[in-house]
Structure 1
Amino acid sequence: MHTTRRILQVVTNVDAYESDPKHATGLWLSELTHSYEVFEQAGFEQIIVSPRGGKSPLEPRSLKFPNLDASAKAWLNDPTRMALLEHTKNPDEVDAADVDAIFFTGGHAVMYDFPGSEGLQQLTRDIYEQGGVVAAVCHGYCGLLETTLSDGTPLVKDRSITGFSWREEVLAGVAKLVPYNVEQRMKDLGANYSKGLVPFASYTQVDGRLVTGQNPGSAKATAKKTLEVLHTLTTTSPNR
């Protein structure tokens, strides 16, 4: 087994809503920066990957008050960190055998390019079936919609998960822009979806090696829960 502790961070390549190309979207920056800091402080190497590789655009709304917090602002002001989002890896450039966990970030853009990415689906399946952790925050769980296990079973079937809720889509004013209701799609797949009582407040779910967070405010907690699961795996199976 590999000895380097490594986590894949998944980001989008999409920069606009298909229903209204004039309406920009992209990566919700703080979801990456909050989780990145948690994993970095824990000593993990991180690789940023996207469905097509190359540039990951930023969601404009994530760059405005109050969403642009100190963590996101520090990333924006760091040319080295920003360069990571200009040159993300393609899934084909990553070996799942070298990875401990995959973490799907969000932003409405991922609704378009995460589900159809066979490369991401293969990485997710391989990481999970080799005993790794699959995690997603906010719209990142769109990346799990079409992911199946080797026996054809949807990864999320009968699993407790969360992610950006339809109520939050409505409150965010984008319900008429988004291409589908991901909360409902998860339920249709047989997932046991739940959400927090207060919209936009931190809320997470852990079901074995599947970790999910509801919204941007859940990114740090989702990353910490991911580390807890990884720690449990390490202590029960030291050779991982």
Structure 2
Amino acid sequence: MKKVLIVETNITRYAGTHDATGLWLGESTEFAKELQKVGISVDYVSPKGGFVPLDPRSMKYVDESIMEFYETPDFKNRALSKTLNPSEVNPEDYFAIYYAGGHGVMWDFPDNKELQSIAMAIYQQNGYVTSVCHGIAGLLNIKDDSNNYLISGKTITGFTLSEEIIAGKKSVVPFFNKEEAEKRGAKFKQKRAYKDFAVQDGHLITGQNPFSARSVANLLIKEVK
């Protein structure tokens, strides 16, 4: 069976500040673990390849399941130390791409042309483009061969303005997900802040916040099993 490609950030801090950010750990581990349970393999890629920093705030929300996966040599090596560079990825090897979140992605996901090309290639071969939380940033600027936004006319979700306010990050983020998604013609749905919520529209599957990673994974699993 083909694999799933998990995309993670290389960004270590909020732009213009000394505040650390990076990958939200559970959004990668929980998603990958759900796939692993049913025998689906994953690879990890980042915009620059190599090292992926962890958002220190994400470590406050780990449970035993997350910690066990985090501590495996495979995850520490392939997901945090030696992620693939986009140039090393062959889209034909994957049936889905998944953009994990953490605030860092808001700076290195939206304008990465290589990742956009990979995602569009997977989508055009009848694959799935998925994300959770701030990972929606990776979907915003993907365009098809006719120069139309992939998310135009599609129902999607992602981290909300109310969640940014609760997180205390409204003043430091470069944009708001709902606003940017709607500029591109998407239909943005949301539920209560920090409650598990995922939505599927065809071959697009998106989750609202860190607590939605497993739901995104399970929607994808239903499609391919």
Fold shared per TM-score above 0.5? yes
Aligned partner of 1:227 in structure 2 is 221
State the alpha-carbon separation in 2 of the partners of residues 29 and 100 from structure 1. 23
Shift of 1:148: 0.4
Residue 210, structure 1, aligned to residue 204, structure 2: yes
Shift of 1:41: 1.1
Aligned partner of 1:179 in structure 2 is 174
Q: What is the identity, as a one-letter code, of the residue corresponding to 2:184?
A: L
Of 150, 154, 175, the residue aligned with 2:149 is: 154
Of 1, 22, 25, the residue aligned with 1:26 is: 22
Shift of 1:190: 0.5
User: What's the % identity of the aligned pairs?
Assistant: 37
User: 8 Å contact 2:33–2:69 — kept in the other structure?
Assistant: no
Shift of 1:211: 0.2
Q: What is the identity, as a one-letter code, of the residue corresponding to 2:215?
A: A
Of 41, 45, 54, the residue aligned with 1:45 is: 41
Q: Which runs of 5+ in 1 are unaligned?
A: 232-240
Residue 80, structure 1, aligned to residue 74, structure 2: yes
- Secondary structure of residue in 2 paired with 1:48: strand
Query: Normalising by structure 2, what TM-score?
Result: 0.97
User: 8 Å contact 1:30–1:71 — kept in the other structure?
Assistant: no
Q: What is the identity, as a one-letter code, of the residue corresponding to 2:104?
A: A
Aligned partner of 1:234 in structure 2 is none
State the alpha-carbon separation in 2 of the partners of residues 18 and 108 from structure 1. 10
Runs of 4+ in 1 over 3 A off after TM superposition: none
Of 140, 144, 151, the residue aligned with 2:139 is: 144
1:145-201: CA deviations, max 9, x gaps?
Answer: 1110111110000000000001100111010111111210001111000101x2100
Aligned partner of 1:16 in structure 2 is 13
State the alpha-carbon separation in 2 of the partners of residues 202 and 139 from structure 1. 14
Aligned partner of 1:236 in structure 2 is none
Residue 101, structure 1, aligned to residue 96, structure 2: yes
CA RMSD in angstroms, aligned pairs only: 1.0
Q: Identify the range of structure 1 (175-184 vs 77-86) with the bigger mean alpha-carbon deviation.
A: 77-86
Query: Normalising by structure 1, what TM-score?
Result: 0.91
Shift of 1:230: 2.5
State the alpha-carbon separation in 2 of the partners of residues 211 and 97 from structure 1. 20
User: 8 Å contact 2:6–2:100 — kept in the other structure?
Assistant: yes
Q: What is the identity, as a one-letter code, of the residue corresponding to 1:220?
A: R
Q: How many residues get paired?
A: 224
